Structures are given as C-alpha cells and as structure tokens.
Amino acid sequence: MMVKTSVLENGCNAKRNGREDCNRMTDDRLNNKKIIVTGASSGIGAQLAKEIAKAGGKPILIARSADKLGELCKTIYRDYQIDCPVYPLDLKSEAAVQSTAEVIFEDNGEINALINNAGAGRFAGIQEFSMGEIEDVFSLNVKALMQMTMLYLNQFSSTQGDGHIINIASQAGKLATPKSAVYAASKHAVLGFSNALRMELAPIGIHLTTVNLGPVNTNFFDNADPSGKYRQSVRRYMLDPHKVAQKIVKNLFKKKREINLPWWMEAASRMHGIAPRFLETMLKKQFNKK
C-alpha cells in the first residue's frame, strides 16, 4: 500500500510569516536517500523512521500493522513534509517478502540503505517453548533478515556500490543469560551472519553495522515479558528508543562496525569473552532477573 502525498519542490510547506514551515534539519548524508526500515510500526523502528525523515531522508516502512504505518506516515508528512511509502508485510512469509521487494524496487527505484530492525522474542525457560514458537522467532529475527539482506544487496551492488545495511541485533547476541536461550540464539545468529557479511561486502563498498542494545523501553516487552517482572527490574537503566534511533541515524552511511548501548553492558560482554565463568559467577543475581 502506498500512502501518497505531494511534496513541494523544496520539500517544505509554503512560507509562513516569511519562513519555511519545515521542522527538517537536512543532512547531506541522508538528503533524498531511500532507506528501508523493517518493524517501523512501533518502538525503535518508528523512531528511526522519524529521525530519517527529520534529516531529509525518505524512510520506506515495513511491518504488519497497516494502520499504524499509515498513521506514522501521516505524522512524518505533517512534521517533515516527507512522503514515506508503506508496505504492510509479514516478514515471516518468504513469498510475501520476495514479491513485496519487487514492488518496492518498481515503486522507488534505487534503494540506498536497509535497516533490518523487526524482531521479537519471549523470555522463558526452554521447556516452555514449542518447536513452532522457536521456528517463528528464527523466521523473523534471522531468516527474514537474511532474505531482506540478500534481496536488497543485489539492488545496492547493481545500482551504486555504496549502500549501507544496519542489522539490529542485541546485547543478548553477545552475552546470553537464563531464560533468553531462544532469543539470544537468534541474535547470536544475526551477529554471526553480519560479521561474515561485513567482510564479504567491504570490497564492493557496502557497509554493514550491527546494533547491540540492552533493554529499550518499547512494546517488545509486551511479548517478551508479559508478567512485567523483568521490565520492572530493569526500569532504571532502560534505554530511550528515541535516543537509540538518533544514535543509529547519526551513523547512517558511515563506516561504523557496531553500535553498543549502554556502554557498560558492552564492557560486561567483553569481559565475558575473556573470563566467562568468573563473570557468570560475579553477575549471577543480575543475570537471573528474567
């Protein structure tokens, strides 16, 4: 579905009191760049879409909730006078991902960046999972991310050779903790895939950045932690999705290997790499908050 509104030539509304009515702070790096954001209907993805538009880029929005995407699109046009096409899509459907990609290329032409942000998971002991649920987590967090990357890579390399892929992983992809076995495994897979691909893509001028986050205050926890117990216990240091999005957008089209937030979780992951048993003993109480 395309939500279309016309953009004035300079991208802003007509002059009001002699000044352009435009909240945008156009950044040359992003100006007129077409950037696909998956999982754009809420949380980090919705904030990313806004930040991209604020900097003069054109976010192309993907998620399942057509109504939420439509609303976001209207808000973005109202605030930044940027048209953003929306493509409601269940990323777990391989056929739908393929056919939507064809429509996106036809509608938008050259794509400049892809942010694989959609993802989900549930914090629970492994015996509480069915194989179907495990398959669902991997289908969205890993398989869809790989399929999107493959489809859009072909487009980057044939058009410009300077694309950027940003994969939203997690600190759970670096350091697994109890009750996160399935989610952590999926995010470890994202990091493994991304680390290999980054080296494959470097010679053709395509950058790949991974984003590893600690808890972020979004709807993610509605599914991950329905009891609200974990959310409550980490409330003090939950990241703000808007600040996370600002940091990511600041690094679009830059050769940044990883974005890690908060810094002290990254420090713990590094220490875990050196002395896992020591850290698991030291931080046992912290690790068992789920």
Can you name the residues that pair with 62 across neighbouring β-strands?
Answer: 38, 87
Distance of closest approach, residue 205 Cβ to ligand NAP, in angstroms: 26
Distance CA 191, CA 173 (A): 7
Q: Which of 53, 55, 58, 52 minimizes the C-alpha distance to 34? A: 58
| Residue 105 or 230 having the CB closest to ligand NAP | 230
| Residue 89 or 206 having the CB closest to ligand NAP | 89
Type of residue at 180:
S
| Residue 7 or 120 having the CB closest to ligand NAP | 120
> 77, 87, 183, 237: which is the annotated catalytic residue?
183
Q: Which of 37, 38, 215 minimizes the C-alpha distance to 121? A: 215
| Residue 83 or 225 having the CB closest to ligand NAP | 225
Distance of closest approach, residue 100 Cβ to ligand NAP, in angstroms: 10
Q: Which two three-digit tokens encode residue 28?
A: 């040359």
Distance of closest approach, residue 161 Cβ to ligand NAP, in angstroms: 27
Distance of closest approach, residue 244 Cβ to ligand NAP, in angstroms: 8
**Ramachandran bin of 57, using left for φ above 0, alpha for ψ from -120 to 50, beta for the remaining angles:** beta
To the query of whether residue 183 is one of the catalytic residues in this protein, the response is yes
Q: Cα-Cα-Cα-Cα dihedral of 126, 128, 132, 134, to 10°?
A: -30
Burial 45-84 (b: 16+ CB within 10 A, else e): bbbbbbbbbbbbbbbbbbbeeeebbbebbeebbeebbbbb
Please name the residue that has the structure tokens 């096409």. Answer: 85
| Residue 57 or 241 having the CB closest to ligand NAP | 241
| Residue 40 or 206 having the CB closest to ligand NAP | 40
Do 155 and 109 contact (CB within 8 A), yes or no?
A: no
Distance of closest approach, residue 64 Cβ to ligand NAP, in angstroms: 3
Q: Which residues are at the interface with ligand NAP (CB under 6 A)?
A: 39-45, 63-65, 68, 89-92, 117-120, 140, 168, 170, 213, 215-216, 218-220
Distance CA 176, CA 66 (A): 34
Q: Which two three-digit tokens encode residue 148?
A: 């999107």
Q: Which two three-digit tokens encode residue 232?
A: 């409550």
Can you name the residues that pair with 165 across neighbouring β-strands?
Answer: 114, 208
Distance of closest approach, residue 63 Cβ to ligand NAP, in angstroms: 4
Distance CA 9, CA 216 (A): 37
Q: Which residues are catalytic?
A: 183
